[in-house]
């Protein structure tokens, strides 16, 4: 009898532990009421956030040029150590895209990594950065995106092997790495630097490429923007901290000019995946590019 009691007790403890683990790692969307008090969308600001976020870089059809880039039909294949992610259609199409989504559903995808059906989204979608965005900016962005052309393209499903194809496991990843705290503390920073911090750490999601990751895909502590291997397997993503041997020697004006023109101070030109990023940054106002440059010079040297 005593053995049976011990076994029963262990089973109960295991069930409690499993239940607690599921609660800790469950999707945690913000309530509908969180999004109801926002102002009507400012479409001009929505376009600004759209460009800062570089939405076309991933969500336009591969090879799209000019105005065709604003058709967010998806389809791009993103290779990673965990498998291949296929970027979804986020055009206003009511069936293939997000035309029927509410602001709350869109906002929870952006800030909480939670899909329309309450599922965890994979962090190949950079909600780990978007979590730092202002709610009104998200409402403005969604309002602007609803004005873009529709596409009925349906992207292929992700190609992920076990255990990465288990979405429940993403909850454990979030528990370890997902938060909305500043990436770096900049006590006493001036408003321009703080504006740049918001753009870089939030909608610009620069760290998603420029920060090295560990085996689980989380950012390595203390190596913010320090560069690392290209997750798609070709070359390296550069270190863009003030201590780097390249951009570290550039002035704020030179960084801002690079983001506008695509030319480095020694007249080299932007290349690789940074081409799309630079083209998006060139559409921002000069004060936004200046703020980004000021922040990049203010990041603490490792």
Answer yes or no: is 238 within a domain: yes
Task: Look up the domain containing 192 and give its range.
Answer: 182-302
Cα-Cα-Cα-Cα dihedral sign, residues 217, 220, 224, 225: negative
**Is there a single domain that holds both residue 51 and residue 167?**
yes
Q: Does the pLDDT of residue 20 top 60, yes or no? A: no
**Is there a single domain that holds both residue 210 and residue 149?**
no
pLDDT band at 48 (very low <50, low <70, confident <90, very high): very high
* Number of domain units in the chain: 2
Answer yes or no: is 240 within a domain: yes
**Is there a single domain that holds both residue 171 and residue 275?**
no
Answer yes or no: is 17 within a domain: no
Answer yes or no: is 18 within a domain: no
Answer yes or no: is 299 within a domain: yes
pTM of the model: 0.90
Of 180, 204, 230, the domain-final residue: 180
What Cα–Cα distance (Å) separates residue 96 from each residue in 14, 105, 158? 42, 16, 16
What average pLDDT score do residues 251-267 get?
Answer: 95
**Is there a single domain that holds both residue 232 and residue 267?**
yes
Residue-level pLDDT at 188: 81
CB atoms within 10 A of CB 54: 22
Of 140, 159, 180, the domain-final residue: 180
For 156-181, the pLDDT digits (tens) are: 999 999 999 999 999 999 999 999 99
**Is there a single domain that holds both residue 164 and residue 59?**
yes
pLDDT band at 16 (very low <50, low <70, confident <90, very high): very low
**Is there a single domain that holds both residue 121 and residue 198?**
no
Of 180, 197, 221, the domain-final residue: 180
Q: Does the pLDDT of residue 152 top 60, yes or no? A: yes
């Amino acid at each position: 009898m005593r053995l049976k009691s011990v076994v029963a007790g262990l089973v109960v403890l295991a069930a409690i532990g499993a239940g607690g683990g599921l609660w800790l790692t469950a999707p945690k969307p913000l309530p509908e009421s969180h999004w109801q008090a926002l102002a009507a969308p400012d479409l001009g600001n929505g376009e600004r956030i759209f460009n800062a976020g570089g939405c076309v870089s991933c969500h336009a059809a591969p090879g799209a040029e000019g105005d065709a880039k604003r058709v967010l039909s998806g389809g791009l294949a993103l290779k990673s150590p965990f498998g291949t992610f296929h970027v979804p259609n986020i055009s206003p199409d009511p069936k293939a895209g997000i035309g029927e989504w509410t602001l709350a559903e869109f906002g929870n995808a952006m800030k909480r990594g939670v899909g329309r059906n309450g599922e965890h989204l994979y962090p190949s979608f950079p909600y780990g950065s978007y979590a730092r965005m202002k709610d009104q900016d998200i409402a403005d962005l969604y309002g602007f995106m609803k004005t873009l052309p529709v596409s009925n393209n349906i992207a292929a499903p992700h190609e992920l092997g076990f255990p990465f194809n288990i979405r429940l496991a993403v909850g454990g990843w979030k528990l370890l790495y997902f938060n909305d705290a500043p990436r770096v503390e900049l006590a006493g920073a001036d408003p321009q630097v703080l504006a740049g911090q918001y753009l870089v750490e939030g909608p610009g999601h620069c760290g998603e490429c420029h920060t090295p990751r560990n085996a689980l895909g989380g950012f390595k502590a203390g190596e913010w923007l320090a560069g690392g291997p290209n997750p798609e397997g070709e070359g390296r993503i550069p270190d863009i901290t003030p201590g780097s041997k390249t951009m570290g020697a550039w002035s704020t004006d030179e960084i801002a000019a690079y983001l506008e023109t695509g030319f480095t101070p020694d007249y080299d030109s932007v290349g690789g995946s940074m081409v799309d990023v630079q083209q998006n940054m060139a559409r921002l106002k000069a004060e936004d590019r200046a703020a980004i440059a000021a922040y990049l010079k203010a990041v603490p040297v490792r």
